[in-house]
């Protein structure tokens, strides 16, 4: 039986995935896998038999990837599972920024106690909350992954001109993108857009990608939307841009003390994926990936291991994690010799992962046992699992 530890509240839909062969709990000393959302795992102890972490969401900055990789722990995330929820909030953000809805709703609370005068006062005061329409405006999307793609197509349907940039745009996403969307450079997106929305991961290369220099390239009066990660934008630089009118409004889903209550900043309390549907989708997707790895050794949507998913056509399977670039596969094939097997492998940076399928049992004694032991004794082998 596999033991699954939950470090956060996770949708009960995971119990449709984890069957009687799994024990899922909020406390476990030695779990085989961990399900997590936002729990900070920087100093979390790694037990000896921990095999996988399922992040019910896309961002993994709360998980110490190098440490997990060194320990041979596969970290999964769920790209696209919350895409529709974030898309809808992005549309909402554009509308909140183009029409001064937030201030208007706040202002009307001052009319409490005015009795029958309220309708007249509303008509008199509403002019201060006027805005613009988004139809006909240009939306620039930085990052055309699962979320950016949906935002682009939704904006086209709302009669916006849509442009975008993404050096890693996949052929699949490009094919699904509305034909009217133009793919151009980052500089062109910044200079031409009335609205700029960020849909990129937070990594070293994207930290503070929106700063004084990039803001200077933006269209005066543009709106900036950041529902990806707060660290993508330099808060001090954006506040200066709001004060001098370079930026019309900044909508961000990651409030920090220095931006809450700042004029022209609409800070949302991290609600991008906070829908019942998104939470269910992320949980189910993460659980399914963890289960497939534990039972079949398949890796899909890992952020620290190479992806390798092979349908099981043989009775027995051996998986091997190893240090890449060390000639390990050649050494493994030498050990296997003339054995009847199928070997598939993939490598990602320093980590290699191999799946060996065979009709004969591995590790049950005799020659097969010695084969597994020989592979285990090879230099640069991190771990071996017999499935």
Per-residue pLDDT at 360? 79
Same domain, 114 and 2: no
Same domain, 66 and 107: no
User: Binning pLDDT at 50, 70 and 90, where does residue 280 land?
Assistant: very high
Same domain, 68 and 112: no
Per-residue pLDDT at 151? 98
Tell me 302's DSSP state. B
Q: Is a pLDDT exceeding 90 seen at residue 324?
A: yes
Same domain, 89 and 77: no
Same domain, 252 and 366: no
- Domain boundary at 237, 267, 297, which? 267
CATH assignment at residue 328: 3.30.70.260
Same domain, 262 and 279: no
Same domain, 214 and 76: no
Across the range 338-361, mean pLDDT stands at: 91
Please check whether residue 164 is in contact with residue 140, taking contact to mean a CB–CB distance below 8 angstroms. yes
Across the range 169-198, mean pLDDT stands at: 97
Q: Is a pLDDT exceeding 90 seen at residue 263?
A: yes
Residues 6+ apart with CB under 8 A from 330: none
CA distance 133 to 136: 8
Across the range 352-374, mean pLDDT stands at: 78
Same domain, 206 and 242: yes
Q: Is a pLDDT exceeding 70 seen at residue 209?
A: yes
Across the range 23-32, mean pLDDT stands at: 93
- Domain boundary at 213, 241, 267, which? 267
Domain holding 216, by residue range, is 83-267
Across the range 19-42, mean pLDDT stands at: 94
pLDDT digits (tens, 9 = 90+) for 59-116: 898 999 999 999 999 999 999 999 999 999 999 999 999 999 999 999 999 999 999 9
Across the range 320-346, mean pLDDT stands at: 92
Same domain, 246 and 283: no
Same domain, 247 and 368: no
Per-residue pLDDT at 364? 57
pLDDT digits (tens, 9 = 90+) for 121-143: 999 999 999 999 999 999 999 99
Same domain, 339 and 357: yes
Please check whether residue 242 is in contact with residue 262, taking contact to mean a CB–CB distance below 8 angstroms. yes
Same domain, 104 and 252: yes
Per-residue pLDDT at 363? 60
Residues 6+ apart with CB under 8 A from 325: 347, 350, 352
pTM: 0.83
Q: Structural domain tally of the chain?
A: 3
CATH assignment at residue 160: 3.40.50.720
Q: Is a pLDDT exceeding 60 seen at residue 365?
A: no
For tokens 């699904």, the residue is 176
Q: Is a pLDDT exceeding 90 seen at residue 32?
A: yes
User: Binning pLDDT at 50, 70 and 90, where does residue 58 land?
Assistant: confident
């Amino acid at each position: 039986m596999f033991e699954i530890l939950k470090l956060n509240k996770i949708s009960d839909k995971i119990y449709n995935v984890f069957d009687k062969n799994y024990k899922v709990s909020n406390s476990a000393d030695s779990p085989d896998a961990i399900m997590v959302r936002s729990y900070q795992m920087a100093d979390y102890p790694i037990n000896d038999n921990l095999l996988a972490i399922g992040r019910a969401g896309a961002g993994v900055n709360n998980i110490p990837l190098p440490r997990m990789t060194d320990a041979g722990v596969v970290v999964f995330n769920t790209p696209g599972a919350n895409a529709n929820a974030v898309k809808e909030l992005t549309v909402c953000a554009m509308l909140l920024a183009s029409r001064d809805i937030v201030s208007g709703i706040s202002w009307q609370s001052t009319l409490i106690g005015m009795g029958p005068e309220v309708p007249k006062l509303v008509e008199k005061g509403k002019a201060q909350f006027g805005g613009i329409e988004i139809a006909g405006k240009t939306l620039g999307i930085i990052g055309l992954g699962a979320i950016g793609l949906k935002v682009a197509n939704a904006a086209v349907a709302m009669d916006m001109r849509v442009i975008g940039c993404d050096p890693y745009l996949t052929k699949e996403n490009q094919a699904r993108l509305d034909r009217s969307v133009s793919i151009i450079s980052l500089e062109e997106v910044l200079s031409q857009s009335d609205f700029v929305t960020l849909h990129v991961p937070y990594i070293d290369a994207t930290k503070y990608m929106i700063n004084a220099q990039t803001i200077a390239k933006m269209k005066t009066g543009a709106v900036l939307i950041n529902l990806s990660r707060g660290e993508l934008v330099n808060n001090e630089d954006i506040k200066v841009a709001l004060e001098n009118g370079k930026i019309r409004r900044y909508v961000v889903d990651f409030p920090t003390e220095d931006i809450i209550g700042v004029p022209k900043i609409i800070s949302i309390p991290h609600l991008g994926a906070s829908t019942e549907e998104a939470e269910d989708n992320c949980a189910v997707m993460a659980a399914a990936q963890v289960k497939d790895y534990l039972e079949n050794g398949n890796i899909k949507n890992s952020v620290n291991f190479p992806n390798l998913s092979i349908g099981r056509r043989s009775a027995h399977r051996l998986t091997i994690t190893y240090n890449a670039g060390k000639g390990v596969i050649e050494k493994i094939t030498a050990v296997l010799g003339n054995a009847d097997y199928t070997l598939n492998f993939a490598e990602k940076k320093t980590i290699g992962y191999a799946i060996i399928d065979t009709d004969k049992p591995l590790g049950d004694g005799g020659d097969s046992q010695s084969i597994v032991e020989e592979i285990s004794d090879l230099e640069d082998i991190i771990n071996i699992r017999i499935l």
